[in-house]
Structure 1
Amino acid sequence: MSQLRKSVVKSRLARLPPDHPMLDEVQEHVLQGAGGHGEEDDSSSASSASSTGTVRPSPSQNLFARPSGTQAGRGDLSSLPWTGFFERELFIEEDIGDLNLIHHAYISPPTDSGPLFVTHHGAGSSGLSFAACAQEIRKILPTAGVLSLDARNHGCTISKIGTRVDDSNEDSKVELDLSLETLSRDLVYVINQTKVKMNWDVIPPLVLVGHSLGGAVVTDVARNGELGSNVLAYAVLDVVEGSAMDALQSMETYLSTRPSSFPSLLAGITWHLRSRTIRNTTSARVSVPGLLREDPTDSTRPWKWSTDLEATKPFWENWFIGLSKKFLEAQGGKLLLLAGTDRLDKELMIGQMQGKYQLQVFPEAGHFVHEDQPSKTAQILVDFYKRNDRSALVFPPKVGDIMASKAMANGLGMP
């Protein structure tokens, strides 16, 4: 690399905010001209298949090194409680044959006929993935509500047969079922039962929002039409069929490289920030606790992943096959929010040129666009809702009504 280019790169890096993650590693990587990829290795172009598959390992960046305490410049990295982001939590019980499910969700209900944003997280994540974004939505549109569920085998949603809880640390008899059809059915059930739990007369106008796997789920629900006209619109965050299917090839490699456990919750939060899996400190502090579960039998590294992503492998293709076609065909307003245009496949490129959906790109974000950029994502979602809000539509009077009004006026001798 020439001295001129080095000086240009250094000047650009100097303008980055002081809490920019992994600044030293990035600078070393850039100045060495690693791989000829420009100023920074873009970790956002990694997997859209898993909510955690966002990082492409690079030897010079040492992304998967064990966290060694709090990063300088990040300040407090202690966990944040969900109560600072949602008003209450819901536990919705359901019996399916011998299986007893206790669906868990976080909610801040809408007011004054406001919309309800229903969010579905990606594989391996939890409803807290949308906590920071939910808070920002309500700042922009105070009448809006947000319902953010934990999918089955994720977060605090549990399943059991009889009195035996399904836990990855036990020899559970509960068969894992994370097929797209099952997850879609669960989402519809939770929405309908939330209406009952909250004593609503009707379901509020819905905007379905799904990240990664969640994007496939909300698209499937919108396409099937089970919620009818209640669904105003739906938004898919950083997943398209083509790139998701391609990314599945490297998912096992990624899962084998990430830590299997952490010595503390703080270490888990720090790793997510250092690896740039999540790039926003507030988001990491509230969402990472939903990803990990404490194992009291392990005194050295007790914090383990709540969801065994490797066990979900049989469902990976089922989640994403046909996603682009369903996204374009489903009724309602459509928004696709991506971290890079490289994720668009041919079918979506054609649909975008035909104006079939709204496309928004956040190149500064990683795969967790809603966590990396919660304020910007919230603004896009609120504007998206307003464009599809039927109550705001003002229709011109019908021709028959105009003629009748004129006839009445003439009969009264009015000019």
Structure 2
Amino acid sequence: MSELQKSFAKSRLAKLPLQPPTGPSMHPLDEEVSHDDDSSSASSAGTIVPSPSRHLFARPGRGSLQPTTLPWTDFFTQELYLTQIDTSSNIKTTHHVYLTPPVDSTSPLFVMHHGAGSSGLSFAACADEIRKIIPKAGILSVDARDHGSTAVTTASGEDRHVELDLSLDTLNRDLVFVVRETQTRMGWESLPDLILVGHSLGGAVITDVARKGELGNKVLAYAVLDVVEGSAMDALQSMETYLLTRPSRFPSITSGIEWHTRSRTIRNKTSARVSVPSLLYEDPNPPDPTKPWIWRTNLSETKPFWENWFVGLSRKFLEARGGKLLLLAGTDRLDKELMIGQMQGKYQLQVLPEAGHFIQEDQPAKTAQILVDFYRRNDRSALVLPPKVADMQASAAMKNGTGVAGTGLGAPFKRV
């Protein structure tokens, strides 16, 4: 570079501000996460394993903004606590759900079930987008037992350890109870038309519910998000390794949000701001006072149930009655049974390659549009059947004056 060029560059740099301007457009939760690293979509039973070199807990630079949490009330109109008591085991489960009721009896209710380690707020951003498209639709998003704010205790209130039970049968009964109890609590004469939506583990639960038919013909259709039996079973082999790589504690809620977005576990920062706080709680007696926030759900303790969740999922998905949607983050997740079923037209397949494992959080608007289109395709109330041939003939005969009213016959009856 010549002396003249150096002098010109220095004069231009001297005029620049010392600190880059910050504002809403620079907010770390309003811009998309960079895609220039070597990450790829997570597996159906796992998520991104962050590299130690990414400095996920690096102190934000001068002028950057800390991520702020968003309240659930921005996305749902109410929450319910539904008590279920098992007298045979003396166990009380207080189910917690987020609800925006359907406006009238003709509007659908989307029932959402999250994946392992997540919560009902995993569907918050997607629920908001669904309501933008169908303002009258209802959304019911559950916290599974031992997740979110759903608590399992002894019915008598005695202080003793309650054995963890996250078997598929138990989660099936929980979901059916929650839907029926919500109907009772809200005073609905009958259930609205239901669209069951499940992510990962939740996909296994809603598929099991649809196949067993315990909610009757009110289930119009069901959608499974980013879980396939074959790839899920393969991913379980590396699940323990992943759990060892993620942090066990956080200094604050905001640092938990930052870890999820910087590791690209959740790629949409708005969704992370509402969903991540429900995944953590503050330990009153932390071993490290600088990191008091810990996971609500200990995923390592759920290991005995992992295989139970996914074995036979593909077969059940294809056999259950109702419309079927499989929404994936990559076609590499399809196993042989689903490939054959897809070629035979047994279900609808959609792929969002720009999303990670948490499809409904990474791409809430696109996911919502796909779910709404799926509902409309299966909406029985919008189905107009062609008139019967006999009715058409009778109508024509009556217009011509040759038919017999009330007989449905196209011509007068004659004795032979």
User: With structure 2 as the length reference, what TM-score do the two structures score?
Assistant: 0.85
1:334-367, Cα deviation, whole Å (9 max, x unpaired): 1111111110111111111111111111111100
Matched, 1:83 2:73: yes
Residue 387 in 1 paired to residue 380 in 2? Answer: no
Which amino acid in structure 1 is aligned with residue 43 of structure 2? S
Structure 2 CA distance, aligned partners of 1:93 and 1:413?
Answer: 62
- Deviation for aligned residue 1:81: 0.5
Q: Which residue of 2 aligns with 1:109?
A: 101
Describe how 1:343-354 pairs up with structure 2 within 5 A.
343-354=333-344
The partner residue of 1:337 within 327, 338, 347 is 327
Q: Which amino acid aligns with 1:43?
A: S
Name the CA distance, whole Å, in 2 between partners of 1:69 and 1:164.
44
8 Å CA contact 2:49, 2:246 repeated in 1: no
Per the TM alignment, residue 223 of structure 1 is displaced from its structure 2 partner at its CA by: 0.6
What is the CA distance between 1:47 and its match in structure 2? Answer: 2.9
Report 1:7-406 matches (<5 A).
Answer: 19-22=31-34, 26=36, 40-44=37-41, 46-49=42-45, 53-58=46-51, 62-63=53-54, 65-70=55-60, 75=65, 77-97=67-87, 98-112=90-104, 113-162=106-155, 164=157, 172-298=160-286, 299-406=289-396
Structure 2: 5+ residue stretches without partners: 1-28, 405-416
Q: How many residue pairs are counted as aligned between the two chains?
A: 372
Partner Cα distance (1:404, 1:72) in 2: 81
Q: Distance in 1 between matches of 2:75 and 2:62?
A: 26
Deviates more, 1:391-400 or 1:113-122: 391-400
Find the aligned partners of 1:372 and 1:79 in 2 and give their Cα distance: 17
- Contact (CA 8 Å) 2:32, 2:269: kept in 1 or not? no
Q: Is the 8 A contact 2:97 2:141 kept in 1?
A: yes
% identity of equivalent residues: 67
Q: Distance in 2 between matches of 1:369 and 1:73?
A: 31
CA shift digits 1:271-312 (9 cap, x unpaired):
000100000010000000111111122232111000010000
SS at match of 1:43: coil
Q: Report the alpha carbon displacement of residue 228 of structure 1 after superposing the two structures with TM.
A: 1.2
String of CA shifts for 1:81-115, please: whole Å, max 9, x gaps: 00000000011001012001110000001113210
* Equivalent-residue separation in structure 2 for 1:215 and 1:407 (angstroms): 53
Match of 2:331, as an amino acid?
Answer: T
- Alpha-carbon distance, 1:42 to partner: 3.6
Offset from partner CA, 1:27-86 (integer Å, 9 cap, x none): xxxxxxxxxxxxx52431x3312xxx2113446xx35x4422458998551111000000
For 1:285, give the aligned amino acid: R
CA distance in 2, matches of 1:297, 1:151: 26
- TM-score, normalising length from structure 1? 0.85
1:121 CA displacement = 0.1
Q: 1:239 to 1:397 in 2, by over 3 A?
A: same
Segment drifting more, 96-105 vs 290-299:
290-299
What is the aligned partner in structure 2 of residue 36 from structure 1? none
1:19/1:73 contact within 8 Å kept: no
**Secondary structure of the equivalent of 1:359?**
strand
Measure, in 2, the Cα distance between the counterparts of 1:341 and 1:172.
Answer: 46
Q: 1:269 to 1:172 in 2, by over 3 A?
A: farther
Q: Which one-letter code corresponds to 1:290 in the other structure? A: S
Change (3 A) 1:73 1:227: farther
Distance 1:57 1:269 in 2: 14
Q: Structure 1 residue 406: deviation in Å?
A: 3.3
Give, in whole Å, the separation in 1 of the partners of 2:205 and 2:244.
26
CA-to-partner distance for each residue in 1:224-246, whole Å, 9 max, x for gaps? 11111100000000000000000
The whole-number CA distance in structure 1 between the counterparts of 2:160 and 2:61 is: 39
Tell which structure's C-alpha radius of gyration is larger. Answer: 2
Structure 1 unaligned regions, length at least 5: 1-16, 27-39, 166-170
Distance 1:69 1:230 in 2: 51
